[in-house]
Structure formats: C-alpha cells, structure tokens
Structure 1
Amino acid sequence: MSHMWTFQRVGGLDQVVFKNANDIINLPDLDPKLWVALSCPTIGLDFDERTLALLDSDKDGRIRIPDILDAISWTRDKIISFDSILKTSETLPLSQIDTSTPSGNKLSVTAHSILASLNKSNVDYLSQDDIQQCIKTNADKLYNGDLIFPASSELSPEMQTFIQTAIQTTGAKKDMSGQDGIDLNIATTFVDNLKTWLQWQTKISNTQTPFGENSAEIWKLIQQLKPKIDDYFLRIELAQYAPQAQTALNVDEKYIVPTQNGLLSDEALAELPLSKIDTTNALDLVNGLNPLWKAKISRFKTLVASSLYNPDQLTPQEWQDIQQSLQAYATLISAKPEMAQLTVEIEPSASIEDMSNSVITKLANDDLLNEFKQMVEQDNKTPISASDVLVLEKLVLFHKHLYRLLVNFVSFADFFTPKTRAAFQLGNLYIDGRCATLCVAVDNIAKHSTMANYSELCLLYCECTRHGQKQLIAAAMTAGQGDLLIEGRNGVFIDNEGNDWDANVVKIITKPISIQQAILAPYQRIGRCITEQINKWASSKDADVEKSSEQALQNPANKFDIGKSVGIFAAIGLAVGAIGTALASIFQAIFSLTWWQFPLFFVGIFLIISGPSVILAWLKLRRRTLGPLLEASGWAINGQVKINLMLGGLLTSKAELPTNAKRNLHDPMKQRHQKLIVIFWLAILLGVGATAGWLWHEGYLDHYIKQHNQEQTQNKTDTTTNIDK
C-alpha cells in the first residue's frame, strides 16, 4: 500500500500506468478490480503463442490474474532488474541473469554454452532464435539433456526392445526431436509392472491342478461353455420332471428356418440349446451338438478326457468335479493385479497380458533398468541440458513479451495509443472505401453476436479464406456511412503478418456509425420515400393505361368523352394552381425576410429535419463500448472501455487523396445530354404556357389582372395625393 501508483483516465475508466520496474514488481498489491481485464483466451490473439502456452500452466486455455502474477514472481527470481523488461527488448542480456543463486549460475553457464555451440562466444545476449537453433541442433542427438530416450539405432538391440515394449504397454513422451520415447519414471513403472505380473503368473503356475499345463486353456473354455452346459443340464432335469414338456424344451422348427439369403444366423444358433434334450442324464460330447459350439466341446473333451468315466459323455457330477478341481486356480485368476498407470503424452497401445512369460522375464531383468538409469545420468550431465534450455527459453520470452502483456491486460494502453495495436486486433479489413482496424476473432457467429450486440458498435461478421484456410472475424465500422454495407459484400482482410484473406460479409449488426450518417439519414429516407411513392404511382398508372387499352380494344364502341376530359383537365389545373399558390406564398414569405434572417431560416429547417436523428445518433455513439465485443470473444473485462467519437474516427479510416495529389475535375466518361436538356426546358415552357392559357380561358387571369390594375390605380392616386400635399 506504500507504493505510489499512477492512473490515467482513458476509455471511461482509470487505467494504471507502468512507469518503472517498481510498478510491475508491486502489481500483486494492486486491487484486481482496477485491472481492465480479469481473464483472456489463449487463442485468437496477436501474441506470441509459445509465451501464452508457458503462461497457461494448467492448460485450460485461459490466462488469468494469478497466471500473470506467477510469471512476474518467476521472472523476478531469475533477473537482476525489471527495468529492461519495460524496453521490450528482443534479446536477453546475459548480464541480467541473476547468478547469485545456484540455479541462476547454472542458467548463465547454459546460456554461454548455447552461444558457444552456435559460434557466438563473443555475443553477450541471448535471443529466442538462439534458443530455437539450439533445440533444433541438439534434437537429433541421443544425449541432448531432455532425459527422454526413443528407441534409437545407437542403442543396443536389447535396449531398443526394452524401450519399444515400454512405449507400447506403459506409454511415451515426446523428446526434443518429436519422437516417442520414455523417461526414467516410465521405465521404472514398466519394470515394476512386469515384475508384478511375473509374480502373479508364477503363483498361478505353482498351483496344483489335475490338468497341469492345460489348466489355463481348460479354465478359459469353462468360462465360455459354462452357461450353455448349465442350461443343458437344467433342461434335462425339467424333461425328467415333466416328460410332456420335452418337446417344448427342444428346438422349435421355426428357429432353424434359413433366412432370406439361405443361411442360418450365428446369433440365432447361439441362443439354441447345446444338444438335443431327452431324459438321458449325460451330455453326449460327440453326437447331436449345436454346430456353433461343437468345436469348443470337442477341444474341451480332449483336455479333460482323464477326468471322464466315459470319454464321449459328460455327467453333471463330472462337470461339477472339474470346476471344483480348478477352484484354487480360479481364485488366483480372479486376483489379477492392477498395473500402475501414468499420465503420459502417448497412451499405451498394448497390454502386458499379450506378452509371453519368457519375454517378460527377459525384460524384467534389473540389468536393463540399471543401464537405462546410467543413460539418464549421462544425459543429465550434458552441458546444454534440455530442461535448462527450456527455462532459458521461458526467461527470454517473458523478458521480451511480459510488458506488452501487461499493457494489454492490466491496462489497455496499446489500444488507446494510435500508432500501436492491441493484442486482440488481428488485422485490417478493407471494404467500401474504408479500413477497419478493430477486427477480433470469432468462434461462433450466432453466439458471439448475441453478446456483441450490447457494444453498440456496427459490426461486420466476415468469413475469411486463404489457401484452404478459414477464419471468422468481427470488424467494427466506426466512421463513414452504412448504406452500402450489406450481407454478401466482399472485401480484403490483411492480418498482422501481412497475409491477405478474401473476406465475405455473412452477418451485420446495424448500429449508428457516425454523426455524418445521422445528418444525411433523414434526407435519404425522404428520398427513398419519394422514390417509392413515384414508383407506386407510375406502376398504378401504367396498370390503369394497360387496362383501359385492353377495354378499348375489346369494346370499340367506347368513344372519347370530351366532357369527362374537360373535367379531368380542370381538376389538374386546379391542382397546379393550388401548388403554384402555395409555392408563391412560401417564396413570398422567404423573400420578405431580411438578409440576416436567411441563415437562421435554413438552420431552423436543418434542425427540424436532421436534429432528432443527430441527437439520437449522438446518444447511441456515446454508449459505444469495447467490453461486450471482447466478452463475446472470451475475455472478462472490468468496466465498459468506451469508444468515443475521436477514437472511432481513428479505428476506421476513410479513403482520402494524398496531400500532394492533384485532382482533374473533367470526367471524360461523363455523358453530356445537351439534347435532353433542351427538350426538358422546352417541356417546362410548354407546361407553363399551357397552364397559363388554361387559366386565361377559365377567367382566372382576368381576375388577377383586374386586381392588379386596381392596385396600380390606387398606388397612382396615393402618389398624386402625396405630391399635392
């Protein structure tokens, strides 16, 4: 609590500023409620994937606050100062490794060994590329320090068999080269399982039975035949008890009728009795057997012949005696030991039960296990140990990427800095003369749009394809207009690596985009309304003309009625006159204004038409927020993270000519319709002349002329009176 934090109000919430190393070191003391994010996914980010994998220690696909704090604590124990982390350097200076501890000193030795193996002994820093080259160089070596050994041809045949069998029955791990191998834990567990199995098999073989080495086979046959033989003897007892039921106890004819393909079903035969049922108190082991069980009965007869009074028959008592003689054997069989199981990358594909006792005895020898232990000890003494290389890789990656993670998780400094991009911004979408930079990953469009709708952002959901690959993105349009943003439009998505993807708009969440759109929207709606009404009127008139023409052709007796036409022309004249009078009144009122009232008049008209639309759009644009958009992509955000008008203008840029460009306004492709213009003005003049003629014919002009003459006479009289006075 004694640390002095610095906060900056950005995006509608207070965000911590990382000014020095102490801000990072004291981050565990910062209230989690003051972090911008609480968790984020490990996929769909413009961030180093290997670093995210190392941060996600529990492999649940999420990065949370404890994961970041653990990374800070782990890194703090390995380096001298956190000041170099603020620089987000691509390399780790060897002088930054804390050699005051045995583990740190070992890392320093390993780092120098890596550089020496790469012929960089004169270099005093380590990069991620150096680590990758070291891993690649040592991967094919048998002793590479990873303590995992595949069945390499460099090993003896006996050791190769040992490793291969352990992989098949116990499991495997991937070594540095990506091959399947075993470590000391797998080898020890494998040998222990072999010894346990061998001890159990020894107890079984030492158990005395009348059948000697045939006991195991006889026991398996008994397990298979017991239900059928018991069923047979039960049916015999029922036949002896109720002879009239003997027919019902045998096979019904309908069950042995061939199927459509002329064959009997094995499933049907398996359900039938073992042999013919009569009152004979013995099972004939030769004749009358169910064909499906005959082979097993024959083998059973051969193995237990010494225990039968009649080698061709089995009595109920002999059946019970045979099972009783194997009781001790059965007890050991049911006590089969459980083999130890390990958590491995490659699951076992076979079982020890499938191995012969001779092979088990050979592999369970301690000599092979001791030889493997010596291999592990030698591998552990390798100057460049794989475990130390992985620790160095983690340190280099955290040193390089930890600060960027903090300014994209604890705060959103990268998002609110115009020249940088946040970790969740995957690239730029170019469409409709604009470039949208706020493009986030989407897994499921339907699920994502439900939550993202609350962001009040106009979102374009695009399906992006490139060389057989596909990804889904949501792009926020925060500037310009949305008239031509429709589903099905194509654009180009450029990811942060410079790869171009074909983008197709598959869904749109329509929201206000800009104030400019709000100003023009009412006029566009009025224009569309007028166009629709004209289209409807023209369509109806066209239909009326077509209908009238058909009626005239069908009934030639109908003649042109001049009376009706005069009425129609009179009505049209009255309408035109009314419109003219209204326009005259409006223009008279306008021109009666003084010069300074003209701007106020047009401002008032603008406020009446566009004012409500602009106010509503402004209120909605103020509610634009980043939180729901990221929440839909799997983030957990503290607060709203507002997107104001200025930031919205930066997130979507419109097409603009360069500052030093010249523009030629002469368009050679623009058609000049001179004849049409002349015809248009002639039509206007003819219309005005026809209207004036009709008004004169009806006497309207005489009235206006008399009224005008009276006004002129009155004006002259007034003027004369004034002069006399």
Structure 2
Amino acid sequence: MSHMWTFQRVGGLDQVVFKSARDIINLPDLDPKLWVALSCPTTGLDFDERTLSLLDSDNDGRIRIPDILDAISWTQDKIISFDSIFNTSETLPLSQINSSTPQGKKLSVTAQSILVSLNKKNVDYLTQDDIQQSIKINADKLYNGDLIFPASSELSPNMQMFITTAIKTTGAQKDMSGQDGIDLNIATTFVNNLKTWLEWQTKIANTQTPFGENSTEIWKLIQLLKPKIDDYFLRVELAQYAPQAQAALNVDEKYIVPIQNGLLSEDELAELPLSKISTTNTLDLVNGLNPLWKAKISRFKTLVESSLSNPDQLTLQEWQNIQQSLQAYTALINAKPEVVQLTVEIEPSASIDDIPISIITNLANNDLLTEFEQMVEQDNQTPISASDILVLEKLVLFHKHLYRLLVNFVSFADFFLPETRAAFQLGKLYIDGRCATLCVAVDNIAKHATMANYSELCLLYCECTRHGEKQLIAAAMTAGQGDLLIEGRNGVFIDNEGNDWDANVVKIITKPISIQQAIWAPYQRMGRVITEQINKWASSKDTDVEKSSEQALQNPANKFDIGKSVGIFAAIGLAIGAIGTALATIFQAIFALAWWQVPLVFIGLFLIISGPSVILAWLKLRRRTLGPLLEASGWAINGQVKINLMLGSLLTSKAQLPTNAKRNLRDPMKQRHNKLVIIFWLAILLGVGVTGSWLWHEGYLDRYIEQHNQEQPQNKTDTNANIGK
C-alpha cells in the first residue's frame, strides 16, 4: 500500500486518524478489520436522516462499509477536490462541481438556475436549505422535471381519467410533491393491458352460443348455481338407490326451527339442499325451493326457458346440455390473459374487470398515450429538472455530512473528544444531581439489556415522554454513587435539539460506578446489616412484651419469679463486663503504641475493610466498554472501545458550584444548641480524657484490669450459686 496511514491508540483500539483528503480517498484500501464499526442502523442516531436514507440505497435500514465506500466514490466523480468535504463545509461552492463531464456541466447549470429562482444571482454556493426550497417551489408545478404526473386539474378531463384509472389498475409513483402519479412506464403498461383485455373480450363476444347476448349472465349464474344443482341431483340419485335414506337426505327439523333468539341464520340456511329431495329426477324451478336461492333460480329459469322441455322444471339431462353448450365459451373465459404487474410505490387497488367497457375502449385509444408521451418530453426539457435537483441534493448532503459519518464509523473520534458528541449520543439525562451524556436509543429493553449487560456499565433504562410522544433510552452512569438510583425515579432528558422530556427509570443494570462508591460500600453494607438486626431485635422484643402483657392480663395468678430475674440480671452483668473488658483491652493496646503507630492502625483497618471492595471495583471499572452497549442498539463493532476512569468522569458530570461562587455555611434550618451547654460537655469530655490518660500513665488502669481478671472467676462461681438457689 502506497498511502501512509496514521493511527492513534484510543479506547484500547488502533483508530485511523483523518489528516487530509487523501485519507478519505484511500479508504477502499484500508482493511475493514481496522474500521471501528462494520455496520450501524439508520435509526436512533443524531445524524441527518435524509443523508442516511441516501446512503441506504437498498432500503434495508442499515449502513455498511460498501455503502460508505460507494458514497465516497460517487462524490469523488462529482467534485474537483475532497478538501472541502474534509473541512465539513456547510456550503457547496459552485466552483467545486466538476463541470468537465456532461453530467457535471448539467449539474452546474441546474445549480445556477436554482440560485436564480431563489433570487440569489450573486451567490456562488449552494446549501441544503437552497435545495429544500427549490424542491418545494418545483413540487407545485405540473412540469417540474420529475417525469411523474398526478391527475392535476390543469390537465384535460380525459387525461385526468386516464391517469386516475391507470393508478387504480396498474399502480402509481410518488412525485416531488408527494402526490400519486404515473410515469411513462406505467402509462405504457396500462394501455397495453387495456388492449390485451379488449382483444380477449372481443373473442368472447364473437363466440357463438344458443343464448346470444345472455351468454355472459347465464355463464355467471351457472358458476354460482352449479354446486347446489349438482348436489340436488346427487341426492336424488341416492334417494333412488336407497329409498330408506330419503328422509336423511332432506332437511332436519332442527336446522329450520328457530332456537335461542328466534332468528334464522342465513349462512346455515344457504348450506341446506336446494329443494326437497324425492325420487323424481327433475328440479322444480318454481315450488319448494330454498328461499335463499329462489331469486337466482328464477332468473336462471327465465334465461334458459328456450332450452327446457317444461319451463317450470329442469331435468338432469337438460342441465348437462346447457353446460355442454357453453363449453367453448367457458374455455375462452378461463383463458383470461394476465395483466403485466409493475414494481411501484403504490400498488393497484382495482381490476380492469371493474371498469365499464365503454371507458376501457376510450382509454385504450393511442391518442391519450401519445399525449402523455408529449407531456413527459416537455417535462424532461424543464430547466430545473427534478432528477438533477435530487443529484444536487445528494451532493450537498454528502459534502456536508460525509466527514462526520467517517469519524463516527471508521473511527470514534467524536466520542473521545470532550467538545463534540458522537452520532449515537442522543442527549443528556439529568438525575440525582448528575448529568449523563452517554444516552443511546433502545427499541426493546429486555432484549437490549441482555447484550448491554456485558458492557460493565451501570445503565438506567428510561421511558421518556413529551407531548404524547414516547421514546426509550439507556443512560450510562459513569461517575458518583448509586445509592439513590432506583427504579421509579424521575429525571429530565434533554435531546440534542434542546427538547426536554420527562424521564422515568424503568430498569437498572447495577454495576460499579466509581472508586468513591467502592470505598464506602463496605461501611454502607455493615450499616444496613446492623440496622436490619436492630430492627429485627426491637421487633421481636416488642412482640415478646406484648405476649407477656396479654398472658399477665389473662392469668393474674402469675407471680414474679425472683430467681429467674436474678439470673437474667447476672447474665446482663456478665455481658456488660465482657464488653468493658474488651474495650479496655483495645484501648490498652492502642495506648501501648507510639504516637506515630496509631494512625497506621486506623489506616490498616481501613485497608482491610475497604481494600477488597476497591480492588474488585477497579478491576470491573477497567473492563467497562462501549461495544456491547452499541451492539445492543444494532451496531456491529470491531472492538470493545474501552471507557477508562478519565473518560467516565467526562461522560457523567456531578453537580459543582461555579468557580466564582460563595458558600454560606450557616444553615437556617439546622438545629441550634446553647453555646454554654456545648462548652460544658466538651469540658467534661476533655476532663475524662485527661483523667484516663493520667491513670493509664501512672499504671492504675493496668492494676485495675489485673485485679478485675482475678476476681472474674469468683464472680462467675457466685453467680452460678445464686442462679441455683
């Protein structure tokens, strides 16, 4: 490879650095394994939606490496230099359009025409807003260069009917204004389908049958009545074969006697036999017919009377002869030609069979198709062509947004720069005195949490609502503590457009947040355990007292047991003595140390208690990574993209006073104490401390402890004797 690349180690990955336009041009030669991302979704990003839709040429909702390379190649053919793209300019200078090619020359002329139409004759650049305004202006014109025509009132009535009918039977495309219209391909296909249908109808009309012009109606009635008439004659043959089964072949009483609500069901009646079954091989066309089929049978009788020996009856042979006489007619109808179907944005909603034949004959005339072709030719000669505007729009958008896409796809440069935000960062979540800036889009919380759990990030899943709208986000908390982060807490989410949303925490993935949290976690756990034990003890004692009181009230004869009470008091005394001895031993050991050893003892205790928690938290914080979080949102990431402690402190900021602020420490709501009382108690504490130090220094405390230890066995013996008594 002749190109010299520059890489920077960021987030545990070697990420390419774009230093010049040549780095962008040579991206096809860069190994895809060195791209940070392999694909990303087109939704849930802080990126221009129109640019993403243009990049997603196959409309699968994803942007991949080939899509980006195609965009670079397409843009490179349209402009003179990539330097302006590298600088992410908001404008496209007309001088940058490569007019050395026929297409480039046409684009340059179109760009100048757009500026003239917008009264910007002296401006030599195009913006995204210029393109949008030009599209809006031209969209309202009949001849706007998009080669698609809706049924506009500016057209003749016949042409309006031509377009409307084509949309119904062949389909439609969206024009620049968003209306349904047809192009030349749809119009040509529509006319060809009409002509094919007319040829088929002509063949049917020329087919000779005994029924003349009534052939079509008779054929339709036969298709409708054939199952019922065939069923009737089959039942008659069965009745002739087995006369004892005649009753069973007729209608059971339970089907025609109303039950429940007293109403008869038409659907059930329609399934019953056509007429009463007998052994006579004829169908009475007047009497005894199923009421739901009587009208159709009567019409059929009227149309085929000439083929019946008895106009009120139909024999099996006559029924077969009528069908046989329409066999050629039926074969021709079954040979209905298939109409050509096109791939269109708006699918057809009707069939050619639904259109009156007089209208079809009029629309199939070549004059209307010729008129439409002339309209297309005139539209194609429009100075500001819709197709050229769309090409210019694509060029302006790629010129403006392509570089930002690269530093959010090939590398994550925007994510690692404090002054910028990445395309996947949707806004800021304010909660619990903190602001989290790593907020990503979420479609399904349960599915997202399964993958995002591997990121080792503390995540808050929030349901954000605003003016009836709703969105789900996952916010990473990377600084501070998590004691007050609980499900149900409320916060405010500010999106990148400045809109504020009410955020409610619906799910939390609990992970270590900071070293500070790890330091105090053991003490908080011990405090919670002690509090819980005290609550349990107090609750149990309260229950015991309540039970004892109830027993005393229920049985007044219960007397106070002096021996039992003495034993309890003796046990309490032993416990207090043991605690006092332990404290005295601890203080004796501390006072036996040199002054400089005392701080080391407390430091050692701190390390023993907090050390393991800090080490475990530090190891987990080192494993925090962005990859699984983005993978859960639909990205495909090549590496883990680590989030260290420094980056974590930047992604979540804590509340801090301004640098020039003053703090008044006098809290008006704080309880005040008398100064004399405070001084009195401080003096007492100081006196006790001095006295204790003097006693320890003179050795009195040691002698007292020794004497207490000698007397303790004798006290235990006396106590046991008292308990026995």
Identify whether the pair has TM-score above 0.5, normalized to the shorter chain.
yes
Q: Which residue of 1 aligns with 2:305?
A: 305
Q: Which residue of 1 aligns with 2:134?
A: 134
**CA-to-aligned-CA distance 1:164-198 (integer Å, 9 cap, x gap):** 11111111111111111111111111111111111
Q: Which residue of 1 aligns with 2:25?
A: 25
> Is 2:672 the partner of 1:672?
yes
CA distance in 1, matches of 2:372, 2:58: 31
Aligned residue for 1:274, secondary structure, equals: coil
Aligned residue for 1:77, secondary structure, equals: helix
CA distance in 1, matches of 2:79, 2:130: 19
Q: Which amino acid aligns with 2:600?
A: L
Which runs of no fewer than 5 residues in structure 2 stay unpaired? 693-699, 709-725
Q: Which residue of 1 aligns with 2:224?
A: 224
CA distance in 2, matches of 1:76, 1:326: 68
| Equivalent residues in 2 for 1:93-242, closer than 5 Å | 93-242=93-242
Aligned residue for 1:44, secondary structure, equals: coil
Aligned residue for 2:78, secondary structure, equals: coil
| Equivalent residues in 2 for 1:316-465, closer than 5 Å | 316-465=316-465
Aligned residue for 2:428, secondary structure, equals: strand
- Relative to structure 1, the CA distance from residue 703 to residue 373 in structure 2 (aligned partners, 3 Å threshold; closer, same or farther) is closer
Aligned residue for 2:40, secondary structure, equals: strand
Q: CA RMSD in A?
A: 2.5
Q: Which residue of 2 aligns with 1:71?
A: 71
CA distance in 1, matches of 2:637, 2:510: 24
* Conservation of the 8 A alpha-carbon contact between 1:128 and 1:396: yes
Q: Which residue of 2 aligns with 1:518?
A: 518
CA distance in 1, matches of 2:97, 2:608: 70
Deviation for aligned residue 1:209: 1.0
- Relative to structure 1, the CA distance from residue 537 to residue 674 in structure 2 (aligned partners, 3 Å threshold; closer, same or farther) is farther
Aligned residue for 1:299, secondary structure, equals: helix
Deviation for aligned residue 1:207: 0.8
Aligned residue for 2:704, secondary structure, equals: helix
Aligned residue for 2:83, secondary structure, equals: coil
CA distance in 2, matches of 1:399, 1:488: 45
Q: Which amino acid aligns with 2:602?
A: F
- Relative to structure 1, the CA distance from residue 270 to residue 599 in structure 2 (aligned partners, 3 Å threshold; closer, same or farther) is same
> Is 2:292 the partner of 1:287?
no
* Conservation of the 8 A alpha-carbon contact between 1:480 and 1:654: yes
Which range moves more in the overlay, 536-545 or 208-217? 536-545
Deviation for aligned residue 1:541: 2.9
Aligned residue for 2:112, secondary structure, equals: helix
Q: Which amino acid aligns with 1:14?
A: D
> Is 2:558 the partner of 1:538?
no
Q: Which residue of 2 aligns with 1:52?
A: 52
* Conservation of the 8 A alpha-carbon contact between 1:259 and 1:265: no
**CA-to-aligned-CA distance 1:442-482 (integer Å, 9 cap, x gap):** 00000000110000000000000000000000000000000
- Relative to structure 1, the CA distance from residue 544 to residue 276 in structure 2 (aligned partners, 3 Å threshold; closer, same or farther) is closer
Q: Which amino acid aligns with 1:171?
A: G
Deviation for aligned residue 1:243: 4.1
Which range moves more in the overlay, 277-286 or 626-635? 277-286
CA distance in 2, matches of 1:34, 1:639: 9
Aligned residue for 2:504, secondary structure, equals: strand
Deviation for aligned residue 1:388: 0.5
- Relative to structure 1, the CA distance from residue 555 to residue 221 in structure 2 (aligned partners, 3 Å threshold; closer, same or farther) is closer
**CA-to-aligned-CA distance 1:5-56 (integer Å, 9 cap, x gap):** 1111000111111111111111111111111111100000000000011111
CA distance in 1, matches of 2:260, 2:706: 112
CA distance in 2, matches of 1:366, 1:707: 128
**CA-to-aligned-CA distance 1:249-308 (integer Å, 9 cap, x gap):** 333434332333334332333233322333433322222222222111111111112222
> Is 2:528 the partner of 1:528?
yes
CA distance in 2, matches of 1:275, 1:705: 119
Percent identity of the aligned residues? 88
Deviation for aligned residue 1:399: 0.5
**CA-to-aligned-CA distance 1:543-588 (integer Å, 9 cap, x gap):** 3333344444444455556655555444434433332332222223
Q: Which amino acid aligns with 1:583?
A: L
- Relative to structure 1, the CA distance from residue 677 to residue 572 in structure 2 (aligned partners, 3 Å threshold; closer, same or farther) is farther
CA distance in 2, matches of 1:704, 1:376: 115
**CA-to-aligned-CA distance 1:82-132 (integer Å, 9 cap, x gap):** 111111111111111101110011111100000000000100110000000
Aligned residue for 1:656, secondary structure, equals: coil
Q: Which residue of 2 aligns with 1:695?
A: none
**CA-to-aligned-CA distance 1:210-230 (integer Å, 9 cap, x gap):** 111111000011111112222
> Is 2:294 the partner of 1:257?
no
Q: Which amino acid aligns with 1:141?
A: K
- Relative to structure 1, the CA distance from residue 551 to residue 197 in structure 2 (aligned partners, 3 Å threshold; closer, same or farther) is same
CA distance in 2, matches of 1:127, 1:543: 79
Q: Which amino acid aligns with 1:374?
A: Q
Q: Which amino acid aligns with 2:605?
A: I
Q: Which amino acid aligns with 1:146?
A: D
Deviation for aligned residue 1:343: 1.5
- Relative to structure 1, the CA distance from residue 705 to residue 531 in structure 2 (aligned partners, 3 Å threshold; closer, same or farther) is closer
Q: Which residue of 1 aligns with 2:275?
A: 275
Which runs of no fewer than 5 residues in structure 1 stay unpaired? 693-699, 709-725
Deviation for aligned residue 1:245: 4.0
CA distance in 2, matches of 1:271, 1:460: 61
Q: Which residue of 1 aligns with 2:604?
A: 604
- Relative to structure 1, the CA distance from residue 447 to residue 242 in structure 2 (aligned partners, 3 Å threshold; closer, same or farther) is closer
CA distance in 2, matches of 1:546, 1:282: 98
Q: Which residue of 1 aligns with 2:10?
A: 10
CA distance in 1, matches of 2:255, 2:319: 29
Q: Which residue of 1 aligns with 2:723?
A: none
TM-score relative to the length of structure 2: 0.92
TM-score relative to the length of structure 1: 0.92
CA distance in 1, matches of 2:189, 2:53: 29
Which range moves more in the overlay, 482-491 or 321-330? 321-330
- Relative to structure 1, the CA distance from residue 46 to residue 149 in structure 2 (aligned partners, 3 Å threshold; closer, same or farther) is same
* Conservation of the 8 A alpha-carbon contact between 1:146 and 1:386: yes
CA distance in 2, matches of 1:233, 1:203: 34
- Relative to structure 1, the CA distance from residue 137 to residue 279 in structure 2 (aligned partners, 3 Å threshold; closer, same or farther) is same
Which range moves more in the overlay, 235-244 or 45-54? 235-244
Aligned residue for 1:171, secondary structure, equals: coil
Aligned residue for 1:122, secondary structure, equals: coil
**CA-to-aligned-CA distance 1:118-157 (integer Å, 9 cap, x gap):** 0001001100000000011111111111111111111111
**CA-to-aligned-CA distance 1:587-646 (integer Å, 9 cap, x gap):** 232233233323322221111111000000001000000000000000111011000111
CA distance in 1, matches of 2:706, 2:258: 118
CA distance in 2, matches of 1:18, 1:265: 77
Q: Which amino acid aligns with 1:138?
A: N
> Is 2:102 the partner of 1:89?
no
* Conservation of the 8 A alpha-carbon contact between 1:51 and 1:394: yes
Show structure 1 runs of 4+ deviating over 6 A: 675-682, 700-703, 705-708
Deviation for aligned residue 1:706: 11
Aligned residue for 1:84, secondary structure, equals: helix
Deviation for aligned residue 1:393: 0.5
- Relative to structure 1, the CA distance from residue 586 to residue 328 in structure 2 (aligned partners, 3 Å threshold; closer, same or farther) is same
CA distance in 1, matches of 2:506, 2:601: 45
CA distance in 2, matches of 1:370, 1:23: 52
